[in-house]
C-alpha cells in the first residue's frame, strides 16, 4: 500500500471553492491501495491583509515536508504590496522550491466548447513547458525605477535553466503518441530569437539539447507567429517549450481554445518538489457565487497523482490519476453538469458531485 501526505492550500477567491471539489475526488480514489491524507495551510492576499504575511513559515515548511502540494489560487486585485505588485505566494513557492517546469496540458475534451472552428477529425492535445524560474520573472521584485521617469526589468536566460526545461520537454514528448494531426513526436521551441540575444541563446541551447533526442522532431517558432498558429492549427502541436513570460501568455491563449481557464490544469515541477494548481487565478468577479468551474482544479489533482505515480513507480497512484481524468471526460461527454463558463448552468458543487458519481 502506498501512503502520501499532501499540502493543501485553498487560497483566495474561488481557490477554496474549487479545492473542495478536488478533495472530494481525491477522497474517492483513496483506499486500501492508495492512502491519501492532507494538511491544509493558509496563504494568499486575504492572509496578508490580516497578518502581513502571504506565505507563512509554517506553510512553506508544510510544502517542503509533504509528498506533493495541491494549490487553489491566490491574489486579490485590490490587495497589493506597497510597490503595486500582486500578492503571489505561488510564484514565491516556484522560486523557493525551484519548481522550474510549468507543465500545462492543453486538451480539448469532447463536450467542452472551443471558440475555434475545428475540422472533423482534428483534436487539440498538446503540452506547454514553461520555464518557471528565470526569464522575465527573474526580475520580479528586483527591477529598478528611476524616480517617476523610468522603470526597468531584466530578462535572464541561463544555460543550465534552459537545458533542464528543454530536456524535460523532450522526455515528456517521448511518453506521448505525438501531435494529433500527424502522430509525429515534436517539440517546438517558442522565442523571439530574431530580436533578442537572450532568446537567441535560449534557442541555441534548445537546439543543442534536441540533438540528444534524434527520435523527436525539433522545430522553432517566433512567439508572435506562434500565437497565430495555435489558433489556426493547434492540432499540429505536441510539446511546446518556452521562456517564462511567453509561457504565461501562451498558456492562457491555449486555455482559451479548449474551453477557458476553468478547463486548464497545471503542474509546477522541480527536481524534488511539485505543486499542482489550475491555470486560472482567483476569479474575484465570480468568487463566492458557487459557479466556478472546478474541472481545472480536479484535473490538477489528477496530474498530482500522475506525478506521484511516476516518481514512486506507483501503479496505484497512476491508476487513480487516470480514473479522475476519465471521470472528468465522462462528465463533459454526457454534458449534464457544466458550469456557466463552458455553456452550462451547473454549480461548482454539482460538477464536483457529477465527477464523484462518475468515479
Nearest to 131 by CA among 159, 106, 162, 154: 162
Choices 19-27, 41-49, 56-64, 278-286; region in contact with ligand ATP by CB under 6 A:
278-286
Say whether residue 188 binds ligand ATP (CB under 6 A).
Answer: no
Binding mask 230-269 for ligand ATP (x = CB under 6 A): -------------------------------xx-------
Exposed/middle/buried for residue 271 (C-beta within 10 Å: 0-12, 13-18, 19+): exposed
SS (H, E, C) 130-186: EECCCEHHHHCCCCEEECCCEEECCCECCHHHHHHHHHHHHHHHHCCCCCCCCCCCE
Choices 51-59, 217-225, 282-290, 351-359; region in contact with ligand ATP by CB under 6 A:
282-290
Choices 33-41, 59-67, 223-231, 290-298; region in contact with ligand ATP by CB under 6 A:
290-298
Q: Exactly one of 10, 16, 44, 75 binds ligand ATP (CB under 6 A); which one?
A: 75
Q: Exactly one of 133, 198, 251, 293 binds ligand ATP (CB under 6 A); which one?
A: 293
How near is the Cβ of 54 to ligand ATP at its closest, in Å?
A: 13
Say how far apart CA 79 and CA 56 lie, in whole Å: 17
Q: Is the dihedral of CA 180, 210, 269, 56 positive or negative?
A: negative
Grid cell at residue 148: 517617476
Nearest to 23 by CA among 301, 334, 314, 329: 301
**If DSSP codes are grouped into helix, strand and coil, which group holds residue 6?**
strand
Binding mask 19-58 for ligand ATP (x = CB under 6 A): ----------------------------------------
Say whether residue 281 binds ligand ATP (CB under 6 A).
Answer: yes
Choices 51-59, 227-235, 267-275, 292-300; region in contact with ligand ATP by CB under 6 A:
292-300
Choices 37-45, 231-239, 289-297, 326-334; region in contact with ligand ATP by CB under 6 A:
289-297
Binding mask 295-314 for ligand ATP (x = CB under 6 A): -x------------------
Cα angle 291, 70, 340; round to 5:
15
Using the minimum distance from each CB to ligand ATP, give the nearer residue, 24 or 280: 280
For the beta carbon of residue 192, count every other beta carbon within 10 angstroms: 17
Say whether residue 286 binds ligand ATP (CB under 6 A).
Answer: yes
Closest-CB residue for ligand ATP? 281
Q: Exactly one of 68, 155, 221, 292 binds ligand ATP (CB under 6 A); which one?
A: 292
Q: Exactly one of 198, 282, 300, 306 binds ligand ATP (CB under 6 A); which one?
A: 282
Say how far apart CA 23 and CA 124 lie, in whole Å: 28
Choices 41-49, 158-166, 200-208, 291-299; region in contact with ligand ATP by CB under 6 A:
291-299
Nearest to 29 by CA among 338, 309, 346: 309
Helix (H) or strand (E) holding 239: strand 239-242
Exposed/middle/buried for residue 340 (C-beta within 10 Å: 0-12, 13-18, 19+): middle
How near is the Cβ of 115 to ligand ATP at its closest, in Å?
A: 14
Taking each continuous run of H as one helix and of E as one strand, the counts in the chain are 11, 12
Say whether residue 283 binds ligand ATP (CB under 6 A).
Answer: yes
Chain contacts with ligand ATP (rule: CB under 6 A): 14, 18, 75, 261-262, 280-283, 285-286, 292-293, 296, 339, 341
Amino acid at each position: 500500500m502506498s501512503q502520501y501526505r499532501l499540502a493543501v492550500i485553498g487560497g483566495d477567491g474561488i481557490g477554496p471553492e474549487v479545492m473542495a471539489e478536488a478533495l472530494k475526488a481525491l477522497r474517492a480514489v483513496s483506499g486500501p491501495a492508495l492512502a491519501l491524507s492532507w494538511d491544509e495551510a493558509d496563504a494568499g492576499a486575504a492572509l496578508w491583509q490580516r497578518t502581513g504575511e502571504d506565505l507563512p513559515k509554517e506553510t512553506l515548511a508544510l510544502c517542503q515536508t509533504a509528498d506533493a502540494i495541491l494549490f487553489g489560487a491566490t491574489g486579490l486585485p485590490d490587495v497589493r504590496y506597497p510597490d503595486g505588485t500582486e500578492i503571489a505566494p505561488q510564484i514565491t513557492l516556484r522560486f523557493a522550491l525551484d519548481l522550474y517546469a510549468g507543465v500545462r496540458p492543453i486538451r480539448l475534451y469532447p463536450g467542452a466548447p472551443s471558440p475555434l472552428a475545428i475540422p472533423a477529425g482534428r483534436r487539440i492535445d498538446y503540452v506547454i513547458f514553461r520555464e518557471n524560474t528565470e526569464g522575465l520573472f527573474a526580475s520580479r521584485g528586483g527591477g529598478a525605477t528611476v524616480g517617476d521617469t523610468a522603470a526597468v526589468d531584466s530578462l535572464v536566460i541561463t544555460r543550465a535553466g534552459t537545458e533542464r526545461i528543454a530536456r524535460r520537454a523532450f522526455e515528456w514528448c517521448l511518453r506521448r503518441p505525438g501531435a494529433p494531426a500527424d502522430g509525429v513526436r515534436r517539440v517546438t521551441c517558442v522565442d523571439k530569437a530574431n530580436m533578442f540575444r537572450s532568446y537567441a541563446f535560449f534557442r541555441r541551447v534548445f537546439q543543442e539539447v534536441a540533438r540528444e533526442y534524434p527520435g523527436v522532431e525539433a522545430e522553432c517558432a517566433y512567439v508572435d507567429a506562434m500565437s497565430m498558429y495555435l489558433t489556426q492549427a493547434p492540432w499540429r502541436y505536441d510539446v511546446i517549450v518556452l521562456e517564462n513570460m511567453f509561457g504565461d501568455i501562451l498558456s492562457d491563449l491555449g486555455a482559451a481554445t479548449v474551453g477557458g481557464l476553468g478547463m486548464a490544469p497545471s503542474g509546477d515541477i522541480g527536481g524534488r518538489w511539485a505543486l499542482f494548481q489550475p491555470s486560472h487565478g482567483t476569479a474575484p468577479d465570480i468568487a463566492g457565487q458557487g459557479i466556478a468551474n472546478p474541472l481545472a482544479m480536479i484535473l490538477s489533482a489528477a496530474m498530482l497523482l500522475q506525478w506521484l505515480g511516476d516518481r514512486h513507480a506507483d501503479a496505484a497512484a497512476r491508476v487513480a490519476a487516470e480514473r479522475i481524468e476519465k471521470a472528468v471526460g465522462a462528465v463533459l461527454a454526457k454534458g449534464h453538469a457544466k458550469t456557466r463558463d463552458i455553456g452550462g448552468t451547473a454549480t461548482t458543487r454539482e460538477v464536483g458531485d457529477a465527477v464523484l458519481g462518475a468515479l
